[in-house]
Structure 1
Amino acid sequence: MMDFSQRLERVSANPQALTQFGRGLEREALRITPQGKLSTQPHPVGLGSALTNQWVTTDFAESLLEFITPVSRDVDELLSQLSDIHKFSYSQLGSEMLWPMSMPCYVGDESDIELAQYGSSNIGRMKTLYREGLKRRYGSIMQIISGVHFNFSFPDSFWQQLFGDQSEDERQASVSESYFALIRNYYRFGWLIPYLFGASPALCGSFLKKDGAKLDFQKTGKGTYFLPKSTALRLSDLGYTNHAQSALKIGFNHLAQYLDGLQKAIHTPSEEFADIGVKVDGQLRQLNTNVLQIENELYAPIRPKRVTKSGEKPSEALARGGVEYIEVRSLDVNPFSPIGITAEQVRFLDLFLTWAVLSPSDDMDDAELACWRDNWKKVVLQGREPELQLQIGCRGERLPLRDWALRVFSELEQVAVVMDQANGGSHYQQTLTTLTGWVSDPELTLSAQVLRHIEANEGIGKFGLELAAKHAQWLEKQSYSRYSQAEFEAEAAASVLKQQQIEQADEVSFEAFLADYFADLQQNPFKNA
């Protein structure tokens, strides 16, 4: 078996293997009032249909926008596309702005958070009912946390260099196996991402009404709470977590194991969620009472993905064709960027994911699954502690975070050299030089920078509002570089027509639609619809 350096040498023999990565971004952002409070206005009409617009949709709440880029092979193009989408969206927001952080702005009451609305079609109503289930299971406020998702794939030339000539079935099996190896290494060492780029060390006190007593918070300014050495509270038990999922132990050793674990989760009844009910007094409350209503409810820092066909579930797409790309889900919104992410962050992800797929990656048993969860928890809650100890593997070494990080960075340097040779310039090596300094000095990390600004501004509210205004002004002054105002307006109009067509095409009742969708569930709550 080849080691890391041998694999890197093999793929770097063809420059295209390291210049044609597929990248896509999804950035979430809350709409806020000029006073810094959560918007209670419906989705802006000028943005078209949240169900069908290819660039602008909503996530959990009506106020939680999500901006989606197409796949790009160029870093600058990717960020320009995201910037254009932001610019157009701002042109439709009126006096509203976008909250620039992952943890929410001030929320007076959870009843202020309206679920995202997608029209009267069966698929649109299902999306809203799924969110109703999330609200009843976990509360609304947890669902208005924002993040940045990074979709990434290696080009065919990369796999050709790595594996040589193969049949179509052999190639797809090798690709899927490699992506799962990447995922395992991501779990082992991906805590580097919240360490470097975590940007949620503090939160508004309105977020802590239910769970604030569990952690030893300090207070600053007007109702802002923080942990002095934390990096990404968004990834803590306060954020995107589902305690019912912790017992699932979904494995990542190969595609079949992952799909089997996912199917068990979708089909495992939950006594806790059964107490909520599915239909009570004529009102639908959730899609079903299982641990997961649907696959999207699985909270994970990284996911294997394949583009779905019409009507196809994500697991069905994976079973049909194997892994096509991965979705990195552990990035906080970068509050210092008007679009939530920087070129430096994208290039680091390029380096890290390439390293993760080329590095040896043993299978993970249940004990190691528990070990990586412990490491990530330590990093998100106290990652800037200078002597924080991490143990890689349940029987592995226990070393300071800094030592583990420098071990990885020594091999990332090799990746950066060949990436710069392939792409021209020195962007990747410059990125690594900067971030090596962040490893040596935790006070240079994003979370440390954010916390200093919050304390200087007497709280997260004032700091966030000032940043929001600054970003709005910056975007207003930018010129479109990849799209045009006319293109965005045409897409918005077309999306409204498309939603109407979907609504008119429905031929069965909503409950009959759900009965068919969940036909494989033994306890299908809609089977007699």
Structure 2
Amino acid sequence: MNTHPSSSRLKYIIAHQQQHLLKHGLKGIEKESLRIDSSGCISQSDHPASLGAALTHPHITTDYSEALLEFITPPFSDINESLLFMQHIHRFVYQNLHDEMLLTTSMPCGINGDDSIRIAEYGTSNIGQMKHVYRKGLWYRYGRTMQAIAGIHFNYSVPVALWPLLHQQSGSFDSLDHFISESYFGLIRNFQRQGWLILYLFGASPAICKKFFKSRPHLMAQFDEFDSYTLYHPYATSLRMSDIGYKSKNQEQLNIDYNSLDGYVETLSTAIETPYPEYEKIGVKVDGEYRQLNANILQIENEFYSTIRPKQIANSGEKPTLALKRRGVRYVEVRSLDLDLFNPIGIDADKSRFLEAFLLHCLLQDSPDQQHDEYARNNRNQLKVAHEGRKPGLMLEHAEGQISLQDWATKILQNMHPICEILDQDEKGQPYQDALTHFFTLVKDPDLTPSAKMLAEMREQEIPFGRYGLNISAQHNKNFKQQPLPEERQHYFKELARMSHLKQKEIENSDHLSFDDFLEHYFAQTL
């Protein structure tokens, strides 16, 4: 494997013997999982009170639907700590699920049309109502089925100590804070160019239950039949990330600007402020009841579906775009990871280490501005890999012309090698290089990818996708229920749950504005 650094930034770091500054970036993990009953059907029950209040708990909440749990770790410099915390959340949750369990696949099976998916509820406070109405808006706009899809988000913050050196290397006259935000956008542009690789390596949704299409039957025609219950594409990797998953037709025309922080905030804000005729037909407040937060292209920033997001921690009630504008980019959130159903917590150390090295690779490579047609090209590559990423000889669109997926993937992994060597310094063994070597085998042999393994096992066991996912979910459920948390950790999570309920009541009691006025104030925020 080529071990020579291919970027001027990395060469500069090595020349100044500052390689250690690449280590210890902060890593956090967010994981969504659908609550299901023993027969595999989506739960109809409330978010379990014993887990805490979904509105205010820092680590256990819900995503779009009431049954879609979301677990959030704090950021740690050692990925093993992030994974251990996620493990502890799972052990606590499983002890409190009783007759339910977590679905370990990204794509749901036990749903029966939109009506079977409850929209998440967050109490009577204005902020709680806003979260609920936003989700109602998603239902009216896209249907509820999408709100039962689960995934992993990987949060990464570049080591703070690295920035002054990169700033120096760039010769930029901008402030350090401005340079940091612009560099994060360079990372994001490179991720958008090469992020199809994540779908190929980690995609684990090559098949879908027919029930998934009950509310959208016209979409079924584009798939092959695996068996009488399951649809699939023979070479698919991540149908979750395809046009039947987290996609929206009207958003394809948005042309969000990723060439600068100012451009990003401006174009995203414009989408939130621009009325959309189809959504105006839905109505905002009809017969005294809100159907959506507004009738604009996007209700709020979160509605924009992207594979990676620039993030800043927002203060309570602060718009995310304003948080970015005021304090710059703090970290990036990678959103294109399917749940790893072979792993009880949905992600492992090898994937996490690979992602860290890949994101550093995206940061250290040159990243020219995105041209007008490039967003569409990147999107075509992603869809192609989602639908047929394991197809022999698959060609992708590169800035310099057509290139095979295997050749491009090989080149990326070779460029990551010197970064992995650096990240392995002072580690036991060489875990980053070992992870890279492992994923290199998946590039050479598509049959070793999670998506291929899933289809092979479904064929071997002669079972549909729904039964396959349920069997693995039941095994993980059994294993976790045999692993109670130590008493000290049990107490820690019980206390967090108790405090979250108190905090929710406190928020509800302190509201003095009507919901109408609250929304008006929220959307009127400016610098």
Give, in whole Å, the separation in 1 of the partners of 2:469 and 2:228.
13
Instruction: Using the TM superposition, give the Cα deviation of residue 215 of structure 1 relative to its aligned residue in structure 2, in angstroms.
Output: 5.0
Paired residue secondary structure (1:71) = coil
Give the one of 201, 207, 210 matched to 1:205: 210
Map of 1:331 onto structure 2:
337
SS in 1 for 2:244: coil
TM-score by length of 1: 0.94
- Structure 2 counterpart of 1:493: 498
Q: How far did residue 208 of structure 1 move?
A: 1.6
Summarize the Cα distance change of 1:168–1:27 in structure 2 as closer, same or farther, 3 Å threshold. farther
C-alpha deviations, 1:268-327, integer Å up to 9, x for none? 111111110011222210000001000110000000011112221111011001111000
Q: What are the superposed Cα offsets for residues 256-278 of structure 1, whole Å, 9 maximum, x if unpaired? A: 11111101111111111111001
Which residue among 470, 475, 482 is the counterpart of 1:477? 482
CA distance in structure 1 between the partners assigned to 2:9 and 2:218 by the alignment: 47
Distance 1:434 1:212, change over 3 A: farther
Output the amino acid matched with 1:518. F
1:284 is the counterpart of 2:297: no
* 2:172 counterpart of 1:170: no
- 1:151-197: CA deviations, max 9, x gaps? 10111112133224999971111111111111111011110000000
Q: Mean alpha-carbon deviation: is it higher for 204-213 or for 489-498?
A: 204-213
- Scaled by the length of structure 2, the TM-score of the pair is 0.95
Query: Hey, what does 2:383 align to over in structure 1?
Result: 377
User: Which residue does 2:107 correspond to in 1?
Assistant: 103
- 1:80–1:481: 8 Å Cα contact kept in structure 2? no
**Would you say 1:313 and 2:308 are equivalent positions?**
no
* 1:7 alignment partner in structure 2: 9
- 5 Å-filtered alignment, 1:173-322, equals 173-209=178-214, 210-211=216-217, 213=219, 216-322=222-328
How many residues align structurally?
A: 517
1:36 aligns to 2:40 (yes or no): yes
SS at match of 1:333: coil
**Counterpart of 1:515?**
520
Deviation, 1:18, is 2.5
Tell me the residue number matched to 2:468.
Answer: 463
CA shift for structure 1 position 422: 4.8
2:319/2:522 contact within 8 Å kept:
no
State the identity %.
44
Q: Deviations over 1:324-378 (max 9, x none)?
A: 1000000001111110111111011011101000001111111111111111110
Deviations 1:455-506 (A, max 9, x none): 3341112111111111112223336489700000000000000000000000
Q: Structure 1 371/515 Cα, relative in aligned 2: closer, same or farther at 3 Å?
A: same
Does the Cα contact within 8 Å between 1:99 and 1:105 map onto a contact in 2?
A: no
Structure 1 CA distance for aligned equivalents of residues 321 and 349 of structure 2: 32
Counterpart code for 1:7: R
Which piece of structure 1 moves more, 487-496 or 214-223? Answer: 214-223
Q: For 1:393-408, list aligned pairs within 5 A.
A: 393=399, 396-408=400-412
Q: Deviations over 1:377-419 (max 9, x none)?
A: 10001100111111122xx221110011111111111211121
1:479/1:14 CA distance change after superposition, 3 Å: farther
2:86 matches 1:79: no
Quickly say closer, same or farther: Cα 1:411–1:369, change in 2 above 3 A: same
| Matched AA of 2:476 | H
Partner residue of 2:146?
A: 142
Aligned to 1:246, the other structure's residue is in SS state helix
> Partners in 2 of 1:78 and 1:222 — Cα distance?
40
Distance change (3 Å), C-alpha of 1:243 and 1:511? same
| Equivalent pair of 2:209/2:466 in contact (CA under 8 Å) | yes
Gaps of 5+ in 1: 522-529
Residues 52-96 of structure 1: CA deviation (Å, up to 9, x unaligned): 011100011110000000011111111000000011011110110
8 Å CA contact 1:102, 1:200 repeated in 2:
yes
Equivalent-residue separation in structure 2 for 1:317 and 1:448 (angstroms): 41
Aligned to 1:432: 436
* Kept in 1: contact 2:95–2:484 (CA 8 A): no
Aligned-pair CA distance for 1:109 = 2.8
- AA aligned opposite 2:242: S
Q: Report how far residue 125 of structure 1 moved.
A: 0.6
Contact 1:200/1:232 (8 A) holds in 2: yes
Answer yes or no: is the 8 Å Cα contact 1:221–1:455 preserved in 2.
Answer: no
- 1:236 touches 1:381 (CA, 8 Å); kept in 2? yes
Partners of 1:253 and 1:25 in 2: CA distance? 26
SS in 2 for 1:390: strand
Q: What is the rounded CA distance, in whole Å, between the counterparts of 2:336 and 2:298 in structure 1? A: 20
Q: Partner of 1:366: helix, strand, or coil?
A: coil
Residue 362 of structure 1, aligned match among 346, 363, 368 = 368
| Equivalent pair of 2:73/2:82 in contact (CA under 8 Å) | yes
Partner of 1:445: 449
Residue identity matched to 2:508: E
Q: Give the conservation status (yes or no) of the 8 Å contact 1:19–1:422.
A: no
Specify the SS of the correspondent of 2:123.
coil
Q: Distance in 1 between matches of 2:273 and 2:13?
A: 41
* Structure 2 residue 111 is matched with structure 1 residue 127: no
Secondary structure at the aligned position of 2:208 is classed as: strand
* Conservation of the 8 A alpha-carbon contact between 1:33 and 1:96: yes
The equivalent of 2:22 in structure 1 is 18
1:520: Cα distance to partner? Answer: 6.3
Match of 1:526 in 2: none
Between the aligned partners of 1:415 and 1:212, the Cα distance in structure 2 is 46
Instruction: State the AA in 1 paired with 2:106.
Output: S
Moved more, 178-187 or 467-476: 467-476
Contact 2:313 2:323 in 1 (8 A): yes
3-state DSSP class of the match of 2:282? coil
- Matches of 1:301 and 1:237, distance apart in 2: 13
Alignment deviations for residues 409-461 of structure 1 (CA, whole Å, 9 cap, x no partner): 11111211121125452111111111111001111111111222233341112
Rounded to whole Å, the distance in 2 between the matches of 1:272 and 1:422 is 57
> What residue identity is the alignment partner of 2:474?
A
SS in 1 for 2:336: strand
**Matching residue's letter, 2:157:** S
How far apart are 1:222 and its partner, in Å?
Answer: 4.5
Residue 427 of structure 2 corresponds to residue 418 of structure 1: no
Which of residues 387, 393, 398 in structure 2 aligns to 1:387?
A: 393
Show structure 2 runs of 5+ residues with no match: none
Letter in 1 for 2:196: W
